[in-house]
Amino acid sequence: MGRKMLLRKFNTFSCLMKEKPTNLKGKKHSSQQWIVRQLKDPYVEKAKQHDYRCRSAFKLLEINSKHHILQPGMNVIDCGAAPGSWTQVAARLVNADQKMLDKPVGSVIGIDKLPIYPIEGATLLANMDFTKKGTQDLIKQYLNERFVDVVLSDMAPNAIGMKDADHENIIKLAYSVFKFALEVSSYESTLVIKVWDGSMSPALEKDLELFYKVVKIARPQATRDESSEKFIIAKGFKGLKTQAKV
């Protein structure tokens, strides 16, 4: 199709590498801090043990444990999928990997600007910008007129260190996912969006309430203490009969 994509179903493998403190020489202070934090982080080690590509898998697992959003047979879109831990979780829980022989088989489409190594049971659109119309049209092609049960977004812009600007940029991403979800979601579907806390979050939550029956906020235990991230969970898509402009 003239685009760089990874579109195959293969066995996954862990991309997590453990770097020892002896490798710190010559690295910038911020890099040293990151490495030390990784080594001390129990979720990093836990991710390796469970063959997840990064610690963020446990955020989605906790969200699902509390809100029951992913079930076998569901169709899922994962926006901002790289390196792939949320896609891994989703593929297992909706049985896209077909390992639950007595359960219906679901599907997962993962999208990201970055490369993504193959994940068993998932269709991956790597090196692609979700916010572009061409990418969204391609996702619809792969859906092949199927409606989506869950739209996930762990997307975040590259932070520039200015809190208000960073917040505004992630809210823009959130709205792009929100609008796309309105186009492809099934009745009673779920939308999960990551945002950074700030002044524009309440307006987004109110807009979501126009289209979803329940809107809740989650901050999973795997979220680092210093992070301002939170996840907006919108459940029970009402459909577009009373559509308002977003």
Predicted confidence (pLDDT) per residue in 108-138, tens digit: 999 999 999 999 999 999 999 999 999 999 9
pLDDT recorded at residue 240: 86
In a domain, 1, yes or no: no
Quote the number of domains for the chain. 2
Active site residues: 194
Q: Tell me the average pLDDT across 220-245.
A: 82
The whole-model pTM stands at 0.82
- Residues 227 and 201 both lie in one domain: yes
pLDDT digits (tens, 9 = 90+) for 45-77: 776 766 788 888 999 999 999 999 999 999 999
Residues 45 and 151 in one domain: no
| Domain, as residue range, for 39 | 13-51
Lowest mean pLDDT among 2-6, 81-85, 148-152, 241-245: 2-6
Question: Does residue 245 belong to any structural domain of this protein?
Answer: no
pLDDT cut 70: percent of the chain above it: 79
pLDDT value at position 40?
Answer: 57
Is the domain of 74 the same as that of 110?
yes
- 168 within a domain of the structure (yes/no): yes
pLDDT over 70 at 96, yes or no: yes
pLDDT per residue over 18-52, tens digit each?
A: 344 445 445 454 445 544 455 456 667 776 766 78
Of the ranges 1-15, 140-154, 188-202, which one carries the lowest mean pLDDT score?
1-15
- What is the number of other CB atoms lying within 10 angstroms of the CB of residue 212? 23
- Mean pLDDT value of segment 153-179: 95
- Percent of the chain as helix, strand, coil, to the nearest 5: 35, 20, 45
Which pLDDT does position 73 carry in this prediction?
99
Burial (Cβ within 10 Å: 0-12, 13-18, ≥19) of residue 162? exposed
Q: For residue 143, tell me if it sits in a domain.
A: yes
60, part of any domain: yes
Same domain, 159 and 76: yes
14: Cβ contacts below 8 Å, ≥ 6 apart? 47, 48, 51, 52, 53
Do 41 and 95 share a domain, yes or no? no
Q: Are residues 101 and 35 in the same domain?
A: no
